[in-house]
Every structure is written in C-alpha cells, then in structure tokens.
Structure 1
C-alpha cells in the first residue's frame, strides 16, 4: 500500500504552533536576559560599595522571577500545553499592568530602574497580545 501524499495534520499543526510562538519565546528570553542583567548589575554595584535601596533589589528580583515563570509558560504553550497557554494569557497582562503602575509612581524608583522596568514591560506587552489572540488559542489543542 502506498502512503498518502497529504502531510500528517498533527505534525503540520505542531509546526505552525512552534512558528507562531517563536516571537513570543524570543521576547520572553529577552525579558529573562534583561532582568538577569539588572540583578547582576545590582550585585556589582553592591560589591563595589554603592548603596542600592532594598526596594530596588526586591522589585528587580520579583521581575526576574516573573520573567522565568513567563518563559516556562511560553515554552509549555509552544509545546501545546493548554494550561501553560492559559497561565501565559493571564499572567502576561498582569505583569504589564504592574509595570505600568510601578513606573508611574513618582519617586519610587530611580530613573535608570524605571527605564529598565519600562523596557521589560514593552517586551511583555506583545506577548500578552499574541497569547490572547484567537488564532494563537486555536493553535493549542483543547483537552480531549
């Protein structure tokens, strides 16, 4: 018996899903890298004797942890996990909203930290948008 000339639809669907999540994962990896670089920079500042406020340490550590969580959710969604996509769809907009609030509070953080936080928010904003598009949700199969 000969094989059909039609490709396996599950394989085609998985390939389309991976392609659709490629920009999401690139943005999330950038978010992790920027957040880790900021925490490393804070460690260097502290090591050379520059005083860094505890609020900056706490905020930047929370942002690093949230970046890693979002990356885990993004990887899971790219692999076809409906739960990971749901978590990504919920958490990404919350992070964007939190960044907007934190950056908008006058005098809470120094300007250089506010800029880093704003860039992090700008990296997560397209993730929140892409993850919540109907066509993205359609790429992740519903539970059987």
Structure 2
C-alpha cells in the first residue's frame, strides 16, 4: 500500500503544530492578532491531527473501518475549513484563514488519495 495517506497526515500534523507555535509567538509579539477563538482552534486542530496520524498508521493494516473514518473526516474537515477560510464574518484573522486553507487542501488531497484503487485494494474484504 502507498504511504501517501500517512505522509499527508504527517504534513497536516506539522502544520497544526506550526499553528500552535505561531499562535503562541504572536500572543507575545502582536497580541491583537490572537484571540481566544484562535487558541481554541489551534489546539483543537492539533489534537485532531494526532488522531488523523493514528488512523493513517492503522490504515496500513487494511482496516476498512479506519478507511471509512479517515475518508469521512477528510471530506468533512475540508468542507469545514473551506467555510472557515472563505465565509466572511468568522472570528479568525487572515493569517489563520490562510493556514487553514492550506490544511483544507491537504485534507482534500487525503480524500482523493483514499479513493485511489491502490489504497482500496489493500483493505480487508467487506463483510
């Protein structure tokens, strides 16, 4: 099976950690660019990225259940991030929107990779 789902979730996790680090740095350097909502988003996305990593690692074992879970969260997550990044009136500054848009693209790439025959062929048989 391809390592691409795991690598994409690793990139997602690194970006999530970068969001937390940038939030912490800006909290001290430019506090007007950070609000409590940004902190909640940054930490929440980091926690989710760790779950994605775990699921992607378990996908290598061929778990159909994990496959469906990862596919679902990659599609739903990218839609949620698109709403966050594109809709006006969200409480997030532009720098968070840009970072989240990049993560949304990664989740879309993950959804696309998960639908490839090489990944699906590796899954355990359906019951």
Give the TM-score normalised by the residue count of structure 2: 0.86
Is the contact made by 1:24 and 1:74 (CA closer than 8 Å) also made in structure 2?
Answer: yes
Is the contact made by 2:4 and 2:113 (CA closer than 8 Å) also made in structure 1?
Answer: no
Shift of 1:84: 1.4
Shift of 1:97: 0.6
SS in 1 for 2:111: helix
Greater length-normalized contact order (CA 8 Å, ≥ 6 residues apart): 2
Moved over 6 A (4+): none
Give the Cα–Cα distance (whole angstroms) in 2 for the partners of residues 119 and 47 of structure 1.
24
Give the TM-score normalised by the residue count of structure 1: 0.77
Aligned length: 125
Shift of 1:93: 0.5
Instruction: State the match for 1:127 in structure 2.
Output: 110
Give the Cα–Cα distance (whole angstroms) in 2 for the partners of residues 49 and 102 of structure 1.
22
SS in 2 for 1:106: coil
Give the Cα–Cα distance (whole angstroms) in 1 for the partners of residues 29 and 101 of structure 2.
26
Task: Work out which of the residue numbers 54, 63, 88 in structure 2 matches 1:81.
Answer: 63
RMSD: 1.9
Give the Cα–Cα distance (whole angstroms) in 2 for the partners of residues 93 and 65 of structure 1.
18
Instruction: State the match for 1:26 in structure 2.
Output: 7
Unaligned segments of structure 2, at least 5 residues: none
Unaligned segments of structure 1, at least 5 residues: 1-16
Change (3 A) 1:133 1:71: same
